[in-house]
Amino acid sequence: MSSHDQPSLKGREVQRTFDKVTDYYDRMNRLMTLGRHAAWCRDVAASAGVPPGGSLLDIATGTGVIALAALERYPGSAVFAVDFSERMLAEAANKPGASAVTWQHADANDLPFDDESFDAVTHGYLLRNVDDVERVLEEQHRVLKPGGRVVILETCPPRGLLRYPVSLGVRVMIPLLGQMVARDRESYAYLQRSTLGFMTPQEVVAILRRVGFVSMAWKKRFFGTHMIISARKR
């Protein structure tokens, strides 16, 4: 048995957290981003550039927002969506139009797909929740076809003049909203820490380059607290 057959301690904690917040996840994402989350997910799907009749894999799909946006953007394409929270997948599979997506339980460290299976890979808020970002991106590189794109939606620590007020706002607002909306301050305190503690776009791009990706680009959103990064497999 390899070390990746079982989730790590952090993996189990993340799994428990996301199982707990499933019922409130979409509402909290809307509130925490002042309603911008769905638009960013559509932006991620649009940036994936799936060819007609192509295929897309959405990892850490959660409640399926990116996967369903991709299905709408690329009718006739094959959309696969994986997550390691069974509760999240069940929630996603109940949404309108969800029957056209293939939902599957999987670990981002060890994807159950052949090499060069997909034209595009997308994910939202995956990397800040894994132990080994490089391994996870290597797996994505492996399952992408040559020329295929990866598109990443992530949080990033704010920089510049807004750094301190925005960081303070995140520290206060996320746990407070978690308490008010989900009656779960603890889970959202974890999400607040992982939001502020994640890498800069430059750090993620450096890992993408090491793994073998090219044509990296990124844009920041929401006072510099979110980023959308894209890259291509050579």
Answer yes or no: is pLDDT of 112 > 60: yes
Residue 121 — very low, low, confident or very high, per pLDDT cuts 50/70/90? very high
Lowest mean pLDDT among 141-145, 188-192, 217-221: 188-192
Which of the two residues, 220 and 14, has the higher pLDDT score? 220
Measure the CA angle with vertex 110, ends 105 and 113; round to 5°: 75
Please indicate, yes or no, if residue 132 is contained in any of the structural domains: yes
Annotated binding-site residue? 23? no
Q: Is the dihedral of CA 47, 52, 54, 58 positive or negative?
A: positive
Answer yes or no: is pLDDT of 30 > 60: yes
Please give the residue range of the domain that contains residue 114: 9-25+34-157+198-233
Residue 7 — very low, low, confident or very high, per pLDDT cuts 50/70/90? low
Please indicate, yes or no, if residue 62 is contained in any of the structural domains: yes
Residue 6 — very low, low, confident or very high, per pLDDT cuts 50/70/90? low
**What average pLDDT does range 19-30 have in this prediction?**
88
Q: b/e string for 166-194 if b means 16 or more Cβ within 10 A?
A: bbeebeeebbebbeeebebeebbebbbeb
Please indicate, yes or no, if residue 17 is contained in any of the structural domains: yes
Please indicate, yes or no, if residue 216 is contained in any of the structural domains: yes
The two structure tokens encoding residue 56? 């897309």
Please indicate, yes or no, if residue 104 is contained in any of the structural domains: yes
Annotated binding-site residue? 119? no
Annotated binding-site residue? 100? no
Please indicate, yes or no, if residue 105 is contained in any of the structural domains: yes
pLDDT tens figures, 43-91: 999 999 999 999 999 999 999 999 999 999 999 999 999 999 999 999 9
Global pTM exceeds 0.85: yes
Write the CATH number for 113.
3.40.50.150
Tally of domains within the chain: 1
Answer yes or no: is pLDDT of 1 > 50: no
Cα separations in angstroms, 117 against 17, 40, 44, 112, 214:
30, 25, 19, 11, 19
Answer yes or no: is pLDDT of 13 > 90: no
Annotated binding-site residue? 110? no
Residue 178 — very low, low, confident or very high, per pLDDT cuts 50/70/90? confident
Q: What is the pLDDT of residue 191?
A: 75
Please indicate, yes or no, if residue 82 is contained in any of the structural domains: yes
Average pLDDT across the chain, whole number: 91
Q: What is the pLDDT of residue 3?
A: 40
Q: What is the pLDDT of residue 158?
A: 82
Residue 123 — very low, low, confident or very high, per pLDDT cuts 50/70/90? very high
